[in-house]
Amino acid sequence: MNISVVGTGYVGLVVGVCMADLGHNVTCVDNDEAKISALLAGRVPIYEPGLDQILERAVREGRLRFTRDLGAGLQHSRHVFLAVGTPSAPDGSADLSGVFAVAGQVASQADGPVTLIIKSTVPVGTADKVRAYVRERTPHAVEVVSNPEFLKEGAAIEDFLRPDRIVCGVANDEARRLMESLYAPLVRTGKPILFMDNRSAELCKYTANAFLATKISFINEIAALCDLVGADVDAVRRGAGSDSRIGQRFFFPGAGYGGSCFPKDVRALVDTAKQYGLTMKVVSAVEEVNEAQKHRLADMVIARFGADLSGKRIALWGLAFKPETDDMREAPSLTVVERLLAAGATVVAYDPEAAHEARRILGDTIQFATRPLEAVRDADAVVLVTEWNEFRSPDLAAVAKAMRTPVLFDGRNVYVPEEARAAGLEYRCIGRP
């Protein structure tokens, strides 16, 4: 099948590359000249394990192409995935300007029927508004399908090709048949395509992300209580998470969530409810707890060394909001850096993939190391912010020896306290004695 994908950000590029890998002929469209030029040269602008190899193969075999020309995409296919960003507006609502801009362009350039498949995360009612918007701008039939993505950064290829479920909001049988055909290769193992109305499909995405964010904020609050009462949050979460109704996934304390999805989707869900006169108390609290949690590591450093960190050299291990990505959007590390710099500290950081993006955001306000041990040399403390695999089993004795003051703040509870202390480190963590 011939399809087009408008938007080559994280979601759009993964969708386009994976659809091509399934045998579809795909044209990816983006108005960012630098991004398209990089893709045409075979350079992937984001870090996602496995994406570059699949992209190279799909391009080589002629199933994947890139262009800035939306008209060329529409000539190639009348089935268009819309995958543009929907960032948070200042009031917390989702900014849909990109969605409507692309929908309008599709309508104005269409010379026949088009199926517009909204992959972007959009508030409830967006498909209805887009449907009305495009019908005013073209005499041709334009069907609108809601097809939210459920991709985890760092595991997006696996999530797309082996999904737990595929959600499709459709308004008629023709759209349903199209989506069944598009996704047929992915459901042969019995995983379902869940068909529903557009509004329910739109709300599915926000519900899933808000619930997962709730698990994170909840266990972070429990960790704070563990610190006060002398309990061990790892034992608590294992005991509670062993209940099949709760589960262990996303049930780990840490420095708070970040990235391109959870923060903006939680805010957008609260804003949507507000528009209908509903105050979502639980979801609002989730964001409040998370924002406070982002300060937790800096608070721990200041509690140990004092409010004035002048002359202190603090090393950060990890900058990306999670492992296996270079995404710095709303990363907890940014809050940690801001607080430490404001207190007068010198900050040196190491991240295996996100350093380039961190440099773009932070400039020369911090120093960047090229290896983990280089970052901790002569440091007064090292703060684990992002639990990349290479940080899980370091030579802790070598770390302690390289530091001026061997203090380790474990923001992800990765290390065994007894082992860290035996290596000569003063060890502090979250919610564990």
Give the pLDDT of residue 74: 84
Q: Residue-wise over 140-150: b if at least 16 C-beta within 10 A, else e? A: eebbbbbbbbb
Q: Could you write out the three-class secondary structure of 262-317?
A: HHHHHHHHHHHHHHCCCCCHHHHHHHHHHHHHCCHHHHHHHHHHCCCCCCCEEEEE
pTM: 0.92
Question: Does 160 share its domain with 26?
Answer: yes
pLDDT at 300: 97
- Domain assignment of residue 433, yes or no: no
30 and 158 share one domain: yes
Per-residue model confidence as pLDDT tens digits over 345-377? 999 999 999 999 999 999 999 999 999 999 999
Same domain, 57 and 159: yes
| pLDDT exceeds 90 at position 48 | yes
SS3 425: coil
* Residue 188 binned pLDDT confidence (cut-offs 50, 70, 90): confident
Identify the domain containing residue 315 by its residue range.
294-428
Q: Are residues 38 and 186 in the same domain?
A: yes
Q: Does residue 416 fall inside a structural domain?
A: yes
Residues 303 and 253 in one domain: no
Residue corresponding to tokens 């403390």: 381
- Show which of 292, 318, 347 is a domain's final residue: 292
Give mean pLDDT, residues 202-223.
97
Asked if 35 and 75 sit in the same domain, the reply is: yes
Confidence of residue 191 (pLDDT cuts 50, 70, 90): confident
Q: Kindly state whether residue 67 falls inside one of the protein's structural domains.
A: yes
Q: Collapsing DSSP states into helix, strand and coil, what is residue 350?
A: strand
Give the Cα separation of 305 and 302 in Å (integer). Answer: 5
Q: Specify the 3-state DSSP secondary structure of 84.
A: coil
Which residues participate in catalysis according to the annotation? 261
Q: How confident is the model over 198-214, as a mean pLDDT?
A: 97
Same-domain pairing of 317 and 339: yes
> What distance in Å separates the CA atoms of residue 233 and residue 231, rounded to the nearest whole number?
6
Q: Do 245 and 310 reside in the same domain of the chain?
A: no
Distances (CA, A) of 122 to 130, 203, 217, 264, 379: 11, 9, 23, 11, 45
Looking at the structure, tell me whether residues 288 and 344 fall in a common domain: no
Question: Angle between the 296-305 and 332-342 helix axes, to the nearest 10 degrees?
Answer: 30
CATH number at residue 233: 1.10.1040.10
Q: Is residue 245 in a domain?
A: yes
Same-domain status, 157 and 229: no
Residues 263, 118 share a domain: no
52 alpha-carbon distance from chain centroid: 18
Give the residue from 292, 314, 340 where a domain finishes.
Answer: 292
Q: Which of 271, 292, 313 is the last residue of a domain?
A: 292
Q: What is the pLDDT of residues 127-150, one digit of tens each?
A: 999 999 999 999 999 999 999 999
Burial of 378 (0-12, 13-18, 19+ CB in 10 A): exposed
Whether 113 is in a domain gets the answer yes
Cβ of 395: how many Cβ atoms within 10 Å?
A: 12
CATH number at residue 186: 3.40.50.720
Overall domain count for the chain? 3
The predicted structure's pLDDT at residue 190: 82
- Structure-token pair, residue 348: 């040196």
Question: What are the backbone angles phi and psi of residue 198, rounded to the nearest 5°?
Answer: -60, -45
**pLDDT over 90 at 221, yes or no:** yes
Output the six-digit token pair for 415: 């290390």
Q: Assess whether 358 and 410 both reside in one domain.
A: yes
- Residue 97 CB partners (closer than 8 Å, separation 6+): none
